[in-house]
Amino acid sequence: MTETAATGADVPLAEVLRGERVESLHCGSVAVVDDTGGVVLALGDIETPVYPRSTTKALQALPLIETGAADHYGLTEPELALACASHGGEPEHVAIARQMLGRTGRDEGSLECGVHWPTNVAASRALAASGIEPCALHNNCSGKHAGFICTACAENIDPTGYIAPDHPVMRRVTQTLAEMTGVPHTDANRGPDGCSIPTYAIPLRALALAFARFGTGRTLSADRATAAGRLRQAVAAAPFMVSGTGGFDTLVMQELGTKAFTKIGAEGVLIASLPQAGLGIAIKCRDGALRGAEAAMASLLRRFGGADCAASPVLQSLTRKELRNWNGIHVGDIHAAAGLNDSR
Amino acid sequence: MTETAATGADVPLAEVLRGERVESLHCGSVAVVDDTGGVVLALGDIETPVYPRSTTKALQALPLIETGAADHYGLTEPELALACASHGGEPEHVAIARQMLGRTGRDEGSLECGVHWPTNVAASRALAASGIEPCALHNNCSGKHAGFICTACAENIDPTGYIAPDHPVMRRVTQTLAEMTGVPHTDANRGPDGCSIPTYAIPLRALALAFARFGTGRTLSADRATAAGRLRQAVAAAPFMVSGTGGFDTLVMQELGTKAFTKIGAEGVLIASLPQAGLGIAIKCRDGALRGAEAAMASLLRRFGGADCAASPVLQSLTRKELRNWNGIHVGDIHAAAGLNDSR
């Protein structure tokens, strides 16, 4: 049944409690859409374009398979998963990114994503302790960028400048995003992402539709449906590659395998594919906080993801996470807003 | 002139832009109050109690001076500033915290704040690189806790258990908070803070009042006004101690000295004293994001802080901060909501 709240008004996504008191509140929008574009749940504004940021990485990886590059280089499931990842820069992630580049005879010097310290705090400290400076392989987007480079090199296209909107690889990636979301991707809705590739603002409804289609493969060409299925299989087989230790996407897919695909993005965007239910979910936490989007998504997965999701202890723990202070004392909780799990 | 928006409705505090598009939005409440309790500006809900968290550290340090402990141990301005601090765990902070404890013949073993890695990322990496594990001295609250221990030891009170609400030192600290804010501090509004001491939920209006009084000293006893003035002088003389490299409070006070006192707190709370204007300011960013509260506070300081604040390039840069990606490309800005600087 379709449920629509007043468009334009953000709804509560998650509350942060200290003791018994609500200390902070996250609000935003939610779209749950089927693979024909039918809106199953709309909370808040799902039409005003938002930047999807890293939530679309799996869509951006489709050309890696569709062009034949993945087969040309014999990419493994961990490599395909890393192409869809915002990873923590842990040693396993760095090794796989290096391996992907090595297949093209290249190294981190070809990456154009920039350098940052591992987002995984323990990995960052370990790197500092080893006296080694980070390189572009540690950038959380290095797998995606390595995938772009593989896509270029397999077709003998010079990968230099692959981050620019008019590079042949980026043009194909952008075309794929437009086809999957059904929304034009032009100069008018383009913004710069953290890793220097373009990101295109689109309605939350269109983002959810893209991931409903990514999940079921219905309404896609046979080749695209096969490519999407291969990526879903890869992330389910190697969920550690998608984020890493303690990451939301890794935790969810370690538990649920192919039953749920999720992907975080910067500034509080989070998507899911639920292949069995035939649904895509997209959340934008208005203030940009992932903690709010994550609690909300865990709740929505339990509501819409069927029996496996409803019974999942991991999803339950992500719906209501304990907060502990520096002495390990339980001081409060982050929990999804009650209204999200309301199936009226 | 008094200006009051609809109570209960959060107002925009800051926008996060990517390209020309608003990507994320922070909302919350603002109270600007004079030292007699007159409300000069009320935006959003300033009556529902919120946890002030670390914004009250300077008030919690008043007993350190009022009991004579600071004079007993001959505490310096950097030590008094560190007692008011949420510091980054940089080597200078750790050294001063150690020095404070040393004056009582004690060390970090007496701290009950718990251990965490330095919040300053460079300091954290440097510590990791040195192969040393952090201790309680690196906890951002170690100066405040060292102040509590000095307060106890100067009066020959056993500091053990000083974090408990019924310890003699904490009782005096709590009494001081109640007097400064004019709000009862009881079991009913008590919650646990990150460093294990109690934090008491109070209206934003009362928090702003406390810091108006802290700034001017008017309506306080002579001893308290002197103690407040001494703390204000200390943080102005040693602003690096209050947060550290790149920290909001340090940047503001390095520029403005005794003309403005500011202090951040966890979950998006931020206060200021403007002694010359006779005003206190308190902000709660509803979602808990300090980036939103900081941009808003910079704008409010420019509006209410007189000519020095209005002309301050540091405040201007904090009102609108550039966001750059990992390649150093300017991708957007965080800027205070336009309405905050509206003097109608």
Backbone angles phi, psi at A3, to 5 degrees: -130, 125
Q: How many other C-beta atoms lie within 10 A of the C-beta of residue A227?
A: 24
Instruction: Return d(Cα A165, Cα A175) in angstroms, integer.
Output: 11
Residues of B within 8 A of A287 (CB-CB) are 24-27, 287, 289, 292
| Structural domain includes residue B282 | yes
Task: Provide the token pair at A271.
Answer: 């998507």
Alpha-carbon distance values, B82 to B25, B63, B124 (Å)? 33, 15, 19
Q: What is the pLDDT of residues B153-172, one digit of tens each?
A: 999 999 999 999 999 999 99
Looking up tokens 């832009």 gives B17
Least Cα distance to A224 among A62, A55, A34, A56 occurs for: A62
Question: What is the SS3 assignment for A12?
Answer: strand
Residue A7 has pLDDT above 50, yes or no: no
Task: Provide the token pair at B63.
Answer: 């007993």
Residues of A within 8 A of B23 (CB-CB) are 50-51, 191, 267, 288
Q: What is the pLDDT of residues B198-224, one digit of tens each?
A: 999 999 999 999 999 999 999 999 999
| Averaged pLDDT, A99-122 | 97
**ipTM for this model:** 0.95
Instruction: Return d(Cα A235, Cα A254) in angstroms, integer.
Output: 9
Residue B4 has pLDDT above 70, yes or no: no
The DSSP code sequence of B17-60 is EETTEEEEEEEEEEEEEETTS-EEEEES--SS-B--GGGGHHHH
By DSSP bridging, strand A3-4 and strand A39-43 are parallel
Nearest chain B Cα distance for residue A191, angstroms:
6
Q: What is the pLDDT of residues B101-152, one digit of tens each?
A: 999 999 999 999 999 999 999 999 999 999 999 999 999 999 999 999 999 9
Asked if residue B67 lies in contact with residue B172, where contact means CB atoms within 8 angstroms, the answer is yes
The pLDDT of residue A343 is 55
Residue A342 has pLDDT above 80, yes or no: no
**Structural domain that includes position A188:** 11-336
Report helix angle B248-256 to B290-304, nearest 10.
20
Instruction: Return d(Cα B224, Cα B307) in angstroms, integer.
Output: 28
The pLDDT of residue B258 is 97
Residue A242 has pLDDT above 90, yes or no: yes
- Percent of the residues in chain B that have a pLDDT greater than 70, as a whole number: 97
| Structural domain includes residue B344 | no
The pLDDT of residue A6 is 43
Cross-strand partners of B321: B334
| Averaged pLDDT, A272-286 | 98
Asked if residue A175 lies in contact with residue A165, where contact means CB atoms within 8 angstroms, the answer is no
CB-CB under 8 Å, B267 with A16: yes
Residues 280-299 of A with CB under 8 A from B: 286-289, 292
CB-CB under 8 Å, A326 with B191: no
User: How buried is A327 (Cβ within 10 angstroms: 0-12 exposed, 13-18 middle, 19+ buried)?
Assistant: middle
| Structural domain includes residue B66 | yes
| Structural domain includes residue A63 | yes
Residue A219 has pLDDT above 80, yes or no: yes
Smallest Cβ–Cβ distance between A24 and the set B24, B194, B288 belongs to B288
Q: How many domains does chain A have?
A: 1
Query: What's the CATH number where B119 sits?
Result: 3.40.710
The pLDDT of residue B344 is 43
Instruction: Return d(Cα A302, Cα B291) in angstroms, integer.
Output: 32
What's at A317, amino acid-wise? Answer: S
Nearest chain A Cα distance for residue B341, angstroms:
21
The pLDDT of residue B3 is 45
| Structural domain includes residue A1 | no
| Structural domain includes residue A5 | no
Residues in chain B: 344
The phi-psi region of residue B246 (left if phi > 0; otherwise alpha if psi is between -120 and 50; otherwise beta) is left
pLDDT tier at B343 (50, 70, 90 boundaries)? low
Residues of A within 8 A of B293 (CB-CB) are none
Residue A5 has pLDDT above 60, yes or no: no
The separation between the first and the last C-alpha atoms of chain A, rounded to the nearest angstrom, is: 8
Handedness of CA B171, B174, B176, B182 (dihedral sign): negative
| Averaged pLDDT, B287-309 | 97
Task: Provide the token pair at B53.
Answer: 């968290």
pLDDT tier at A9 (50, 70, 90 boundaries)? confident
- Percent of the residues in chain A that have a pLDDT greater than 90, as a whole number: 95
Least Cα distance to B250 among B232, B269, B235, B268 occurs for: B235
CB-CB under 8 Å, B25 with A286: yes
Alpha-carbon distance values, A155 to A66, A162, B94 (Å)? 12, 13, 56
Smallest Cβ–Cβ distance between A192 and the set B51, B126, B329 belongs to B329
The DSSP code sequence of A146-215 is HHHHHHHHHTT---TTTTSTTSHHHHHHHHHHHHHHTS---GGGEEE-TTSSEEE-B-HHHHHHHHHHHH
Q: What is the mean pLDDT of chain B?
A: 95
| Averaged pLDDT, A71-97 | 98
| Structural domain includes residue A341 | no
Close Cβ partners of A229 (under 8 Å, ≥ 6 residues apart): A217
| Structural domain includes residue A4 | no
